[in-house]
Amino acid sequence: MVLIDKMISALKRRLLSPAWWFSQLKTVLIMVVIVSAVAFYQQRNMVSGVAPALVLNTLEGKTYNLQDELAKGPLLVYFWGSWCGICSLTSPAVHDIAADSNVLTIALASGSDAEVQQYMDQHGYQFTTLNDDNGLISQQWGVTITPSLFYLNTEGEITQVSAGLSSEWGMRFKLWLARFI
């Protein structure tokens, strides 16, 4: 019992110490700077301004025209790969967003159309997908890391770009924000 009282007393002193709080704040700020620098480095080659034109066939064989889709509202363009571990965490959120928002996904180096469709069926993903098996689309957009997400307003301007792990609420917020930028 004495040991527990000493531990509680030490914890109280630490929590009331401005030096301890300053140390914690400094650690958080350093982490924010590091994460921001890595994100900036990952996005250095991605396109900005107006999105490249896209008129291609989806996995279902339908013609997809980016300009026509933008008339429906802001658009989330999601570059992913079936082999990408982070994408396996992000794709379920993109699937949920696609149920009520304008979303285009582009599968990178993930095999033939049939293989990509089989992967999507296995995971229950239902979103519009283009297969970039030769890497031409990702090259046009400057994508060098997966997942990569582009948020477009109705004018086709890229309002935000992110790479790596993203949360559903973060993606929804950026897509909502694209309405006003």
3-state DSSP call for residue 18?
helix
Name every residue whose Cβ is closer than 8 Å to that of residue 37 and which is 6 or more positions away in sequence. Answer: none
What superfamily does domain 49-177 belong to in CATH?
Glutaredoxin (3.40.30.10)
pLDDT tens per residue across span 125-152: 999 999 999 999 999 999 988 999 999 9
Nearest CA to 59 among 120, 137, 141, 123? 120
Q: How far apart are CA 79 and CA 147, in angstroms?
A: 6
Mean pLDDT for 118-126 is 96
Mean pLDDT of all residues in the chain?
Answer: 88
Q: How far apart are CA 86 and CA 166, in angstroms?
A: 9
What the block records as the tokens of 147 is 């997942």
Inform me whether the pLDDT recorded for 93 exceeds 80.
yes
Cis (ω within 30 of 0) for the bond into 147?
yes
Q: How far apart are CA 170 and CA 128, in angstroms?
A: 20
Q: How far apart are CA 75 and CA 174, in angstroms?
A: 10
What the block records as the tokens of 165 is 């792990």
Alpha helices in 16-159 (DSSP H): 18-42, 66-70, 85-98, 113-123, 136-141
Helix (H) or strand (E) holding 13: helix 2-15
Inform me whether the pLDDT recorded for 37 exceeds 60.
no
Q: What percent of the chain has pLDDT over 70?
A: 91
Strand partners, 50: 157
- Among left, alpha and beta (phi > 0; psi -120 to 50; other), residue 41 is alpha
Model-level pTM? 0.77
